[in-house]
Copies of this chain bind each other. A is one copy, B any other.
Amino acid sequence: MRIVIVGGVAGGMSCAARARRLDESAEIVVLERGAHVSFANCGLPYFVGGEITDERALLVQTPESLRSALALDVRPRNDVIAVDADARTVTVRTDDGLEQISYDALVLSPGASAFVPPIPGVDSPRVRTLRSVEDAIALRDKVTGGARRAVVLGAGFIGVEAAEALAAQGLEVSVVELAPQPLPPVEPELAWLVSEELRALGIDLHVGVAATAIQHGPDADTVVLADGSELAADLIVMSVGVRPDTAVFEEAGVACERGAMIVDSHGRTSIPGIWAVGDATLSVDPITGTRRPVALAGPANRAGRLVADDIVRPGTAREIPQPVGTAIVRVGSLTAALTGANRATLDASGVTYRTLHLHANQHAGYFPGASQIHLIVHVAPGTGRILGAQAVGTEGVDKRIDVLATAIRSGLTVDELIDLDLAYSPPYGQAKDAVNLTGMVGENVLNGTLDLWYAQDLDEVLDTALVLDVRRRDEWVTGHLPGALHIPHTELRERIDEVRERAEGRPVRVMCASGVRSAIAHRLLAQSGMDSASLSGGMLTLRATLGARAAHMLATEAVVQGG
């Protein structure tokens, strides 16, 4: 049997290696358009930034190592330009001309290429993408060759990594993002923390604005933005998104949707004998049921492995799991990570949800180095199912997101998070870990023990309710909502009549710094019969939601009469 695999990175290479381990007799040919196979895609920004110094470190495997270890026939610079599904052949362009290769099984893992938007001047030689080892080397050469000013177009995960890498090399870096924030899949109240961190890294951030032209100059290009700004650039990194590399296969008859290949739960395309995996395929979102491409290495590797099973051991392979979609990025001293669905995805799919905000220490507060993880979890109100989670912080973010990704994959409900036996010792966690606390808050919300209000509804709350701020006086004076009543939570039992008087029949909307004390106060008010709710995430989430508005919105003691 001859298995031909198109694409020698991630999914394709996982498929090839697994096929060999299962079948010593198969002929396995890997055709890779680029110069390298099995390279460290995700490591490219760190090579540009200088943390990875030797480009050889990016080459995880070579054709030679794959031949000697696994008897794979790996052919770089082999570009598949046509597929004849009836004849079961592919046509390949090589340095030596065209070649026809027949196959018994064909696995398509072409990946996605960087999308280059059709803006005037985008053909400048100063414009680069960051998808290949060659790209990374070219960028690094520009950096060491004296580039001083870089503009990164697109502040997705790779754009943010590229911007930080270039800043780390001493360049003046501007980032331009069409969405109103960096890392568009991240909820705005967490993305605000990322914006602040990028600014702290000295990166000039332009959000909510498009680049409209790139003007070529003798010494530098100028990136022109829709708001009229002009950014001089010795170097422009294009990272606005990717497009599946499927034209050849769609032409051959492989069914696609918006350019991505449609596959069944075993990775089979619409054509018998042809499988597909990775960034160029569609997969079903297990949370919303919608189909979308997922450009992540993990799901690609898994699919490649299971396609090999399906080819070599037909009828016995497990189904390819529906990817939950977990992603993580380092931004300066912060980590931002997410798993499952976000608000936008849930809203678009009509899934109802409640959102929980927590700010919990990554380890015992009394142990040196404690720092907060800012955590958002969306849960289904009826079932308690966990729909998605996001976190930003300096330490322990990856752990909590991985635990929550595991919980989502396992179908745990939010109250079951209380029961997770997470490893506790002061350097590693808290006896009630952030994930356990999420479960407690979620259980309280779903069974009506806790009512929440949200920072995004602030304007309505200010119009219709009494805001009760239960923080200490030293917290209150640093900034509070106009018109709020201030009673520290420790005095609330004695002063509860003041609340009733000031409320004058309006609902009471309680807040503190993070949501812990306001939840206690809420219980007290609710038990004495008041319409009360606690601000989800407290002042920390409120400030991040207000973003730049916070400075104008929040009064300090000097200018406003408080409690």
Contact = CB atoms under 8 A, between A and B. Distances in A.
Contacts of A425: 42, 157, 327-330
Interface residues of A, number: 90
Copies per complex?
2
Given A326-B421, A406-B407, A490-B69, A42 B426 contact: yes
A428 B398 contact: yes
Interface string A493-518: 10000000000000000000000010
A367 B46 contact: yes
Given A24-B523, A328-B428, A403-B403, 12 more contacts: A21-B523, A24-B527, A43-B426, A71-B493, A298-B421, A301-B431, A302-B419, A326-B424, A328-B425, A402-B420, A405-B420, A409-B419
A77 to B, nearest CB: 23
Interface stretch (A51-59, A177-185, A227-235, A238-246): A51-59
A449 interface: yes
Given A418-B302, A422-B402, A425-B328, A431 B10 contact: yes
A323 interface: yes
A440 B406 contact: no
Nearest to A431: B297
Interface in A392-423: 398-399, 401-403, 405-407, 409-412, 415-416, 418-423
Nearest to A415: B318
A405 B405 CA distance: 13
A111 interface: no
A419 B302 CA distance: 7
A298 B432 contact: yes
A398 B399 contact: yes
A520 B428 CA distance: 36
A383 interface: no
B398 A421 contact: no
Contacts of A42: 364, 424-426, 431
A70 interface: yes
A489 interface: yes
Contacts of A489: 69
Contacts of A538: none
